[in-house]
Amino acid sequence: MPDPFVHCHLHTEYSLLDGHSRIRPLMQEAARLGMPAIGLTDHGAMYGAVEFYLAAKEHGLNPILGVEAYVAPRGLSDRDPRLDINPAHLILLATSTEGYRNLIALTTVAHLEGFYYKPRIDREVLAGHSTGLVGSSACLQGEVARAILREDMAGAREIAATYRDIFGPGNFFLEVQNHGLPDEARVIKGMVQLARDLDLPLLATNDVHYVRKGEADAQDALMCIQMNIGLDQTEKPRMGNVTEFYLKNGEEMARLFADVPEALRGGLAIAERAHIEIEMGRLRLPHFPVPEGETADSYLRRLCEAGLHRIYARAAPEVQERLDRELDIIAKTGYAAYFLIVQDFVNFARGRGILTTVRGSAAGSLVLYALGVTDVDPIQYRLPFERFLNLERFTPPDIDVDFMDSRRDEVIRYVIDRYGGDRVAQIITFGTMGARQGVRDVGRVMGLPYGDVDRIAKLIPFNASIDEAVRADPDLARAAAENAQIRRLLDLAQKLEGVARHASTHAAGVIISRDPLIEHVPLQKSTKGDLVMTQYDMNAVEKIGLLKMDFLGLINLTILDTALRIIERMRGLTIDLKTIPLDDQKTYDLLSAGETVGIFQLEGAGMTRYIKELRPSRIEDIMAMVALFRPGPMANIPAYIRRKHGREPITYMHPSLEPVLRETYGVMVYQEDVMAVAQAAAGYTLAEADLLRYAVGKKIRDKLEAQRETFIAGCRKQGIPKRSADLLWEQFEPFARYGFNRAHAACYGLIAYYTAYLKANYPVEYMTAVLTNEAQGQDWMAKVALAVAEARRMGIRVLPPDVNASQENFSVEGDAIRFGLGAVKNVGGGAVQEIIRARESGGPFTSLVDLCARVDGRLANKRVLESLIKAGAFDSLGEPRAQLLANVDQALAGAQRAQRLRESPQQGLFEMGESGAADGPALFPMEEFSREERLAMEKEMLGLYISDHPLAHVQEDLAARVSLPIGQLHEVRDRATLAVGGIVTVLKRTTTKSGSVMAFLTLEDLTGSVEVIVFPKTYEQNAFLLKRDAILVVRGRADVAEQQVKILAESLYPLAEAPAAEPLAGAEALVTVEPAGATGNGGPVAAPFEESPLPESETRELHVRLPAHLGPEALERLRSALDRYRGTHPLVLHLVRDDRETVVRSQEIRVRADPALAADLESEFGAGAAWVEDGG
């Protein structure tokens, strides 16, 4: 029996955009082929090493960890573009744990010190880290192969001998490959000769880039995407026309290397020497310095006792008992240093005035409250510590901390200084090829028209796979079936779906290590800033025992800080958020009115609607809404609202549940409610209840059934009937998957309240802070426009930018808000600071010429000045915008001449005016722009109309012709018939596959904007009306999806010809709270054992017509849709078999007979598949 073959040259998807092999399918195939070991050699990095190692072990394979390194042509520090941009390849394989550490060191050096187009090492660095490593000469891009192809056998011999000396006897292999490429036969011949001459072993490899031969087309597409070349391009990379780079079996390799059989044994020889052990699971907590004579546990207790005294003065016995219990658990789990580290950097932040809060279950810790890490009192809000940490938990608890996003980096810098730059790093994360992205990338390299590819991509819902999209969308399925190009596009994109595409820096994760990180994980430069990051992702670093902490940036904390500073500056008031009253009526009135723009967690159409209906009157209501507004618990919102206002009796599934659900009106709101119900109804301990919550939330199948049996048995012991216990389980199973934990809701609920409090009590200052912080990042103009509209709705004047009055950011001016110069498009911080410097040093500007003479024209250049003029920032000087724009060049030229005169030693009194400034040139007179032109300029530069609005003079007429303002569209139901009107601010035309033209336009009124879709038939009838800045009334239907409203146009009118408004029609038009007994999307609300009869007005029923023999996938889709609309209405099934239809009234399934459910089913199963009838 021949020896098994071992692959030692293999690329996974972590050779980004170069390898297609997924690790798990790779291991399954290698195990199926009977291979005893397998090697990893991704290009220049070790991204997948831990995943590869664990998957190989799981499949009974010996993992050989390695890398295909890049060797600098000269030295590590050489960076001459003529000589150093084409590094050679070299395979490095670790045969011992020491070799693995050397591999980490070399990869780190390559990235941090040797990076020049590629991460490079050199021979000197390699020689210092060669112990435990085996090297091979690599592919055609290796140094030895290149020399052979140059017919420089002497050079090849010298290179091979050098590497033999670096790695040591028997540790350098001459690699041979045979994929059918023209140059490979020459290289094999040369390598065999060198092996004989230098007594070096041969190593036969296949340059594996994909698992099976049938994936060659996907690999080809992947590399074309990487190199931005077409799939049909004749001059393609070496893999383009070859399909041999897959995981071949031993027989295939033996046939390829029949002439050099000794090369086949090279991989097995390496595998027999390779024994790597990566320690998993043991947490390597950093050392925290404590005072002499103290341990981490004793010092933590001392800090907590001091904090407890500061908070409570005299703590009640139950508080002291709670602290003792928490500290005991922390001591037994060994996490005291972890808590000390967190309190240290949080207290640093607080000492620097950086607002901070924790998120997640950490707020349930009295220890963290006593340490000052969180401002949430876990006693007051009944937050269980065991949800955060208990003795049955085997992983470290997460203490995720939010900081002001503008100052988060200061805290990270402190941690680096505290623990050492070699022990702190950010964490890498990998972006994968999504379905839409894959379609666009593949379409581009296929050379398909952008419009066609874009149309296909948009047919795929966000977060859906291509397979799901094709099954769900008949149009997409039909296109794939009828069009070979689309079929190929989707096939290739599907093969690339989920493949790692690029590396970036994790938004929050930071590693703090006891030892130098290079002992455990390879490092590289962060994609953001000048910090370093790990090459292992979050899951991998946790597996190898490194402590991960989340340092999150939260813009709302920055907004709060900005507002507090403005209040202090304008009013002389210093406000401590921890001391503001939590029963402020103005705050609750603001929320009850739905004035949620700029309010943390409570913005958005859906949330605003519920907040208005809730009319919160206590902080607990806000916390509950923060938790409830999520896919699972959202079903309970209507019941919570009805019960709060006494419109529905408060009931409990069992008397034992009243104490735990009384505060939330008998409604399950938080993840902790699952735990509390398990304790009260089934006798669980807190720790056992947390394990239950975790198993349910993570859908751990092997544990779920055991937990269910334990829960049911526990309920029976408490005297609860099995049917009722089953109902309880069904209620919290979907809830635990999606719900917020109570501690997280408490933290975020408080921040939401703080923002609402400042908006209600200090509206000008707060909205100024909102505008200042929204005027940055992506979509800043749209965000500023929304905030300006809200300020105006509140009665706050928003003044235009002004070179003599504006600061860089938005500022308070009396009872108004002044636009900041930095919020003008094309105007950077340097230009703004230069203008302000000149104004403060020389007084207000008197003209454009005066400004140009006093500022540095390199900063305040022509583009900056033109943008400021268009934005109206010079209007207060009394010079028309048209005249200013026409004279910018002249004003700048005059300023430059004056500058030269000032610097000339021969300047005289006749050349300079008395003030020392050059006499300004006279401006060419120009006819001023029209009002419409000036407003269009403002819209371009500011994202909104500031001095006026095109609709201001027609608002009354427009209001009479629309169903409701655009700003109230969040109140309409899906498919409601309505009329909206406004000005067209964005217009895009596109051509459909059939050649018809359709349009997408943005319609804006004084309250907001909405996208309008004009399909081909409607477009054909109304094309002449569709122009930018046209004022139109659009009649059509609302398309509501994911809380976003679009209008599907059916007819369009110029304002003067639009008919008078009609009442809203269709689909019950306006959204309201579901009636009693309804449950919305998701699981049922806690209800009494006895099922209540339907009110007379609620006798609707849902009818569904389907084939009698549905496949399993279709049945699953039906079940999923019905689950989303559980309720109390009957379900009537019309089962079609041949020509007969059987009507069956379900005795078990009850639904909410909502037209939206019928629409969902029709989209899933075709027109006429579902409808709602009045069953009375």
420 token code pair: 């050492």
**pLDDT mean over 134-138:** 97
Do 44 and 177 belong together in one domain? yes
Task: Judge whether 982 and 1005 are in contact, CB under 8 Å.
Answer: yes
Domain boundary residue, one of 896, 921, 942: 942
The answer to the question of residue 335 being in a domain is: yes
Percent of the chain with pLDDT over 70: 89
Do 139 and 259 belong together in one domain? yes
**pLDDT mean over 363-381:** 94
In angstroms, rounded to a whole number, what is the distance separating the alpha carbons of residues 280 and 300? 28
Amino acid 785 reads: A
Distances (CA, A) of 884 to 89, 822, 864, 997: 61, 20, 13, 41
The answer to the question of residue 782 being in a domain is: yes
Do 263 and 171 belong together in one domain? yes
State the number of CA atoms in the 13 A half-sphere of 200 facing the CB.
Answer: 33
Q: Kindly state the DSSP code that residue 243 receives in the 8-state scheme.
A: -
State the number of CA atoms in the 13 A half-sphere of 107 facing the CB.
Answer: 34
- Per the structure, the complete domain to which residue 847 belongs is given by 763-942
797 token code pair: 């004047």
**Predicted confidence (pLDDT) per residue in 390-402, tens digit:** 887 777 888 999 9
The answer to the question of residue 460 being in a domain is: no
Do 70 and 138 belong together in one domain? yes
Q: Between these two residues, 1061 and 222, which has the higher pLDDT value?
A: 222
What is the reported pLDDT for 234? 67
Chain Cα centroid distance, residue 164: 48
The answer to the question of residue 981 being in a domain is: yes
What is the reported pLDDT for 1072? 41
Q: What CATH number does residue 251 fall under?
A: 3.20.20.140
Helix or strand or coil: residue 315?
coil
634 token code pair: 């959202």
Point out the least confidently predicted range of 34-43, 825-834, 1100-1109, 1156-1165: 1156-1165
604-610-613-619 Cα dihedral, nearest 10 degrees: -90
Distances (CA, A) of 177 to 147, 183, 191, 215: 16, 10, 10, 20
**pLDDT mean over 230-238:** 73
In angstroms, rounded to a whole number, what is the distance separating the alpha carbons of residues 636 and 615? 16
State the average pLDDT for the chain.
87
507 token code pair: 């938004």
Q: Between these two residues, 1089 and 715, which has the higher pLDDT value?
A: 715
Domain boundary residue, one of 880, 910, 942: 942
Task: Judge whether 178 and 256 are in contact, CB under 8 Å.
Answer: yes
The answer to the question of residue 1094 being in a domain is: no
Do 148 and 121 belong together in one domain? yes
Do 1042 and 994 belong together in one domain? yes
Chain Cα centroid distance, residue 738: 17
Do 262 and 347 belong together in one domain? no
pLDDT of 736 higher than 60: no
Task: Judge whether 75 and 125 are in contact, CB under 8 Å.
Answer: no
Which residue, 638, 619, 642, is CA-closest to 629? 638
Task: Give the helix ranges, DSSP H, for 113-183.
Answer: 123-128, 143-149, 153-167
Cα dihedral sign, 716-720-726-732: negative
Partner residues linked to 1048 by β-bridges:
1013, 1037
Percent of the chain with pLDDT over 90: 60
**pLDDT mean over 730-740:** 68
CB atoms within 10 A of CB 1132: 18
327 token code pair: 């500290």
Q: What CATH number does residue 965 fall under?
A: 2.40.50.140
181 contacts: CB under 8 Å, gap ≥ 6: 140, 238, 242
Task: Judge whether 1133 and 1104 are in contact, CB under 8 Å.
Answer: yes
pLDDT of 776 higher than 90: no
Output the DSSP codes for 788-837. HHHHHHTT-EEEPP-TTT--SS-EEETTEEEPPGGGSTT--HHHHHHHHH
Do 56 and 86 belong together in one domain? yes
Per the structure, the count of domains in the chain is 5
Measured in Å, how far apart are the chain's first and last C-alpha atoms?
A: 79
The answer to the question of residue 285 being in a domain is: no
CA angle 433, 439, 441 (to 5 degrees): 70
pLDDT of 488 higher than 70: yes
The answer to the question of residue 852 being in a domain is: yes
Do 306 and 201 belong together in one domain? no
**Predicted confidence (pLDDT) per residue in 319-362, tens digit:** 999 999 999 999 999 999 999 999 999 999 999 999 999 988 99
**Predicted confidence (pLDDT) per residue in 244-297, tens digit:** 999 999 999 999 999 999 999 999 999 999 999 999 988 888 999 999 999 999
Task: Judge whether 95 and 132 are in contact, CB under 8 Å.
Answer: yes
Do 1016 and 1155 belong together in one domain? no
The answer to the question of residue 1109 being in a domain is: yes
Do 960 and 857 belong together in one domain? no
Q: What is the largest CA-CA distance in the chain?
A: 107
The secondary element (H helix, E strand) that includes residue 203 is strand 202-205
Q: Residue 909: pLDDT band by 50, 70, 90 thresholds?
A: very low
Residue recorded with tokens 């009494």: 1088
Domain boundary residue, one of 507, 531, 555: 555
State the number of CA atoms in the 13 A half-sphere of 362 facing the CB.
Answer: 26
CB atoms within 10 A of CB 222: 30
Do 117 and 262 belong together in one domain? yes
